[in-house]
């Protein structure tokens, strides 16, 4: 809606009276009857002349008048900032002409003036359904998403009109990362049009480098309708983005006897060293990993790792063998492997890897059957895997995504009692921010399933329970008993569904605290009959997540097994 032009002499109060009387005389004279067409012409002339009050008076009439008169009345009343009356006029016209998108566009304008962005977007979406080629509606809709901070949704509409064109691209603050990696991470540059695909690809590449704890990409209107783009990245160098962040990361696991020595962006080449050292008497572990981009390409990443464990297991609640209860089973496992991960674009990627591992078991007695020995046979194994990840649904207007992944693994245990094995896993994860702006509410749901064919040792079984070395959380089932692993259901097949809602209850520049309920459902099974949950399990409870410095997340969780009646209180740090 344009600003009201400055009135000349013809637009003065005296001129308005003269014009109104002249129009009234014309409309009421026998030569010019007060026909709808005559009223419409007179109202249009008054509107063009900027006489909003006269136009509104002329255009308003009986309920069955033409939609064109309703449209003119709505325009004139909007100029007079009579928003409610204008809305009624546009609604009346749209009921008579439901295929005319102009009424929806004007209703969107009224909602926009009243800061009702949600209603404005609804009207514009319906208008584009009637006229997909309307550049004004697309620009209007893109602008609203842009003002809400939803850049991806804005681009989805802008790109249809070959917009927005970049004037400049800049990093803030300046980066230590090598210029070659930094530039290859960008899928756009000035003076190109910033596309939605290029935005997603760039975000994925920056994440893939593993040296940025936070990233924010913002557009600022520039001259001649172009835009300036700024990438605000929190770069981790050495111990982290800052000494405080580095110290917090290193010591975050002290409550459970663990430290995490980490060094990032070594040589300014996005080479990252991460490790874990745990001295818990029941679950000793040392793990080291080195991640680096391949061939200087941010889309390709190589991970080299080694992992050694010395763990005590208590299987009295999960192993159904007939021999002596396994309260003090000791497993030692050492593994080393390599994995490559590649990004295809901003929506998909793949990974492939190989691992050699050796494990042995001690404190095992009374379990001599072939079926029982299978799970506790020390052996060396060699395995390889191939995985794919893809976003199936992405609706930026609703801030909703549905991601999928699948992994196939095959290998061999070099032991007479074991032999070849194969594993298949898959997952679907939905993520939704219900509000148009911010992360005050966040909802996530995930379904995962997997199965192993062939013989498998204890460490290759799926585990459904809350435990630091396990990612299949059934949050009402503890993964340990008296500090020893093996308390949660185990098996060569599993199904797990998780749902959670997080509500922000406090935030500042240092902390972001959320709280909300969760619901988990799952089952584990094994063809041997020696492991498994024997029935479907349901857990519910509440959890709080405390994000520190945007990098570490402390999870405090209370879960209840709805079938067994047990309670679990748990705390850990996610990285």
* CB distance 432 to 394 below 8 Å: no
Residue of 412, 430, 414 lying closest to 422 (CA atoms): 412
Delimit the domains of the chain by residue range.
Answer: 10-149, 382-574
DSSP H stretches of helix in 329-432: 370-375
The pair of three-digit structure tokens given for residue 321, joined into one six-digit string: 């063998």
- What pLDDT does residue 6 have? 38
Phi, psi of 378 (to 5 degrees): -70, 135
Beta pairing, strands 271-278 & 283-294: antiparallel
- Interval 39-93: pLDDT, tens: 999 999 999 999 999 999 999 999 999 999 999 999 999 999 999 999 999 999 9
Residue of 479, 464, 488, 477 lying closest to 567 (CA atoms): 477
Beta pairing, strands 283-294 & 297-313: antiparallel
Helix H or strand E encompassing 219: strand 212-221
Phi, psi of 457 (to 5 degrees): -85, 170
* Ranges of residues in the chain whose predicted pLDDT is under 70: 1-34, 366-368
C-alpha dist (Å) from residue 343 to 76, 185, 217, 300: 54, 11, 20, 7
Separation between Cα atoms, residue 410 and residue 401, nearest integer Å:
30
The SS3 of residue 319 is: coil
Separation between Cα atoms, residue 503 and residue 314, nearest integer Å:
37
Residue of 312, 151, 125, 288 lying closest to 216 (CA atoms): 151
- What pLDDT does residue 373 have? 85
Peptide bond into 150 cis (omega under 30): no
Contacts of 388 (CB under 8 A, 6+ apart): 348, 349, 350, 351, 405, 406, 407
Over its C-alpha atoms, the chain yields an Rg (Å, rounded) of: 33
Q: Say how many CA atoms lie within 13 Å of 389 toward its Cβ.
A: 14
Peptide bond into 411 cis (omega under 30): no
Angle at the Cα of 462 from the Cα atoms of 460 and 464, rounded to 5 degrees: 150
C-alpha dist (Å) from residue 545 to 48, 433, 548, 552: 59, 16, 10, 10
Peptide bond into 450 cis (omega under 30): no
Residue of 180, 202, 206 lying closest to 192 (CA atoms): 202
Separation between Cα atoms, residue 389 and residue 350, nearest integer Å:
6
Span 10-149: which CATH code?
Answer: 1.25.40.10
Separation between Cα atoms, residue 543 and residue 72, nearest integer Å:
56
DSSP string, 145-174: HHHTT-HHHHHHHHGGGT-PBEEEEEEES-
pTM for the full predicted model: 0.89
Residue carrying the six token digits 């080629």: 133
Strands (E), 344-482: 348-362, 379-395, 400-413, 419-432, 441-454, 462-463, 480-481
* CB distance 335 to 355 below 8 Å: yes
Contacts of 45 (CB under 8 A, 6+ apart): none
Separation between Cα atoms, residue 393 and residue 43, nearest integer Å:
49
C-alpha dist (Å) from residue 55 to 10, 16, 61, 563: 15, 11, 12, 71
Residue carrying the six token digits 């680096």: 292
Span 382-574: which CATH code?
Answer: 2.40.160.50
- What pLDDT does residue 1 have? 41
Strands (E), 10-98: none
- What pLDDT does residue 213 have? 87
SS (H, E, C) 13-38: HHHHHHHHHHHHHHHHCCCCCCCHHH
- Interval 96-121: pLDDT, tens: 999 999 999 999 999 999 999 999 99
* CB distance 441 to 459 below 8 Å: no
């Amino acid at each position: 809606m344009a600003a009201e032009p400055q009135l000349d002499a013809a637009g003065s109060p005296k001129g308005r009276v003269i014009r109104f009387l002249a129009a009234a005389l014309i409309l009421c004279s026998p030569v010019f009857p007060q026909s709808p067409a005559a009223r419409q012409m007179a109202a249009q002339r008054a509107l063009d002349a900027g006489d909003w009050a006269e136009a509104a008076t002329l255009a308003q009439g009986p309920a069955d008048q033409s939609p064109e008169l309703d449209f003119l009345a709505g325009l004139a009343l909007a100029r007079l900032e009579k928003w409610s009356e204008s809305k009624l006029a546009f609604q009346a016209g749209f009921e008579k002409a439901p295929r005319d998108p102009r009424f929806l566009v004007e209703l969107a304008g009224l909602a926009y003036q009243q800061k009702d962005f949600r209603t404005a977007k609804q009207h514009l979406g319906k208008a584009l359904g009637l006229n997909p080629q309307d550049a004004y509606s697309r620009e209007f809709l893109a602008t609203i998403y842009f003002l809400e901070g939803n850049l991806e949704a804005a681009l989805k509409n802008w790109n249809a009109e070959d917009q927005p064109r970049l004037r400049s691209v800049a990093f803030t603050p300046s980066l230590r990362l090598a210029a070659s990696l930094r530039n290859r991470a960008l899928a756009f540059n000035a003076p190109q049009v910033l596309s939605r695909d290029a935005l997603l690809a760039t975000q994925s590449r920056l994440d893939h480098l593993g040296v940025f704890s936070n990233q924010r990409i913002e557009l600022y209107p520039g001259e001649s309708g172009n835009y300036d783009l700024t990438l605000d990245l929190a770069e981790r160098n050495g111990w982290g983005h800052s000494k405080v962040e580095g110290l917090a990361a290193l010591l975050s696991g002290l409550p459970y006897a663990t430290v995490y020595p980490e060094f990032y962006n070594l040589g300014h080449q996005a080479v990252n060293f991460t490790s874990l050292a745990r001295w818990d008497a029941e679950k000793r572990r040392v793990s080291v990993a080195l991640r680096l981009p391949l061939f200087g390409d941010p889309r390709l990443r190589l991970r080299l790792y080694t992992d050694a464990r010395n763990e005590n297991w208590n299987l009295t609640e999960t192993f159904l063998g007939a021999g002596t209860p396994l309260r003090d089973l000791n497993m030692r496992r050492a593994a080393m492997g390599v994995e490559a991960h590649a990004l295809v674009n901003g929506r998909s990627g793949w990974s492939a890897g190989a691992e050699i591992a050796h494990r042995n078991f001690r404190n095992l007695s009374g379990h001599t059957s072939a079926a029982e020995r299978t799970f506790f046979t020390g052996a060396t194994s060699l395995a390889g895997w191939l995985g794919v990840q893809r976003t199936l649904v992405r609706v930026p207007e609703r801030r909703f995504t549905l991601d999928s992944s699948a992994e196939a693994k095959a290998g061999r245990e070099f032991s007479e009692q074991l032999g070849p094995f194969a594993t298949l896993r898959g997952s679907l994860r939905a993520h939704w921010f219900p509000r148009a702006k911010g992360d005050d509410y966040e909802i996530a749901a995930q379904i995962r399933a997997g199965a192993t064919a062939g013989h498998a040792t204890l460490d290759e079984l799926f585990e459904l329970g809350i435990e630091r070395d396990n990612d299949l959380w059934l949050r009402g089932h503890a993964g340990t008993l008296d500090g020893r692993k093996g308390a949660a259901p185990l098996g060569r097949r599993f199904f797990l569904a998780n749902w959670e809602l997080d509500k922000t209850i406090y935030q500042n520049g240092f902390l972001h605290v959320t709280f909300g309920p969760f619901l988990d459902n799952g089952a584990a099974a094994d063809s041997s009959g020696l492991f498994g949950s024997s029935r479907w399990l349901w857990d519910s409870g509440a959890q709080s997540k405390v994000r520190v410095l945007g990098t570490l997340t402390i999870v405090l969780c209370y879960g209840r097994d709805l079938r067994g009646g047990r309670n679990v209180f748990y705390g850990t740090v996610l990285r």
